[in-house]
Structure 1
Amino acid sequence: MDASHPHDASPNADASVEDHKPDPAEKFAATNKRGERGPDESIWKGGYSAVDQSGVFFILGLATIGLIGAGVFFWPLFIAIPVIWIVQLLRVWWIKMGVAYELTTRRFMHESGVISRTTDRIEVIDIDDVTVEQGIMDRMFNVGTIRITSSDRTHPELRLRGIKDVKKVALMIDDARQAERDRRGVYIESV
């Protein structure tokens, strides 16, 4: 291109420089490269697992066998069998619908309630300890309770009951906590 003939330049050459605006994904990528706060990414979502009620279902099975045996002599006991199973299934459904959890790179969120819903957040950097509790039946079915101890004022101790793959989820929570502390440069001395 010659300076004496400015019309020889491609009309798109100047427009492409002026029209290039970074999209939001590029902005977030640039932010992450500088070590600044990027988007909050989901790591895990979960809720209550009905497998946690395996012990109760086992006991109900034994009670059903006993009621069938007793129902032979006193037939109205047969009515109790579907009633206890329906009550237990409704109980499990209510618990399952009543809780939801989500772990992100910066927060642990838990929702509770069926009719009215409450959502609470704990910053993962505020989590002090993650403990796994399992009984005999829990270990057999790989479920359990995670106890989170934090410096959060509303929930200094949070118990997540009926979590499937409980050890894996507890490790994810602990890893997210450590990653956020490393990112912010927060180090805790062992006492």
Structure 2
Amino acid sequence: MDASNPNNPFNPNDPGQQSQSDNPDNAAVDGAYNQDPQNKFAAGKKKAGSGPDEQIWSGGYSAVDQSGSFIILTLITIGLIVGGVFFWPLVFAIPVLWIAQFIRVWWIKMGVSYELTTRRFMHEHGVIKRTTDRIEVIDIDDVTVEQGILDRMFNVGTIKITSSDRTHPELRIPGIKDVKKVALMIDDARQEQRDRRGVYIESV
């Protein structure tokens, strides 16, 4: 018995009366049980989002998406050539229309770019003023592919992303080459993040 504290039954010289802090096994068990649930959830959430953010795919607008416009413009050109036989000034409209079409396609192509990583889908738009928007892939609810007849012929299309993101609850991405493959990449990245987050939440 400690002479300085006669009411303290702990004897440091007694090997059978070791404190729990001296036993690492007991400390680990107590730490697991006494951990704050909020901190435990935050640790699991942090672990679920850990790891490098790796790029899966990057791309932009494909001019092949304008195949329908080019076909229509070709028919108009033929009509102007025929009309030029009777009224020759109509021929001067042909280069103007084609130049305007190429400028339009170039503007659209330069105005957008996309990047898919393991965590985010990034959408950049604008030529003079560039704006970058990010959607967490775990917030994506649905990925839809839209294709017309010509789109299926040239393997392009539009991807529609529905998510819980407040800025872009519905994002349409036109002119994507290999559209079904890209849509599958987005869906796989979303499912992988949801599965990973679900595993860590269950472990908490």
Same fold (TM over 0.5): yes
Structure of higher CA gyration radius: 2
Asked if structure 1 preserves the Cα contact closer than 8 Å seen for 2:122 and 2:135, the reply is yes
One of 158, 162, 170 as aligned partner of 2:171? 158
Matched, 1:175 2:204: no
State percent identity of aligned pairs.
Answer: 82
- CA apart distance, 1:183: 1.2
Whole-angstrom distance in 2 between the partners of 1:94 and 1:102: 19
Structure 2 residue matching 1:110: 3-state secondary structure = strand
Whole-angstrom distance in 2 between the partners of 1:172 and 1:128: 14
Number of residue pairs the alignment of both structures matches: 153
Q: TM-score if structure 2 supplies the norm length?
A: 0.73
Whole-angstrom distance in 2 between the partners of 1:74 and 1:115: 41
CA RMSD of aligned residues (A): 1.2
Deviations 1:65-119 (A, max 9, x none): 1100101111111110000000000000000000000000000000000000000
Question: Which residue matches 1:12?
Answer: none
Question: Which residue matches 2:68?
Answer: 55
AA of the residue aligned to 1:73: F
AA of the residue aligned to 1:153: R
Whole-angstrom distance in 2 between the partners of 1:82 and 1:132: 35
Whole-angstrom distance in 1 between the partners of 2:65 and 2:107: 14
Whole-angstrom distance in 2 between the partners of 1:178 and 1:157: 18
One of 159, 172, 175 as aligned partner of 1:146? 159
AA of the residue aligned to 2:69: V
Structure 1 residue matching 2:96: 3-state secondary structure = helix
Question: Which residue matches 1:133?
Answer: 146
Whole-angstrom distance in 2 between the partners of 1:81 and 1:36: 56
- CA apart distance, 1:35: 6.3
Question: Which residue matches 1:87?
Answer: 100
Whole-angstrom distance in 2 between the partners of 1:51 and 1:139: 11
Structure 2 residue matching 1:72: 3-state secondary structure = helix
Runs of 4+ in 1 over 2 A off after TM superposition: none
Whole-angstrom distance in 2 between the partners of 1:180 and 1:87: 44
Q: TM-score if structure 1 supplies the norm length?
A: 0.78
Deviations 1:31-72 (A, max 9, x none): xxx866111000000110000000000010111111001011
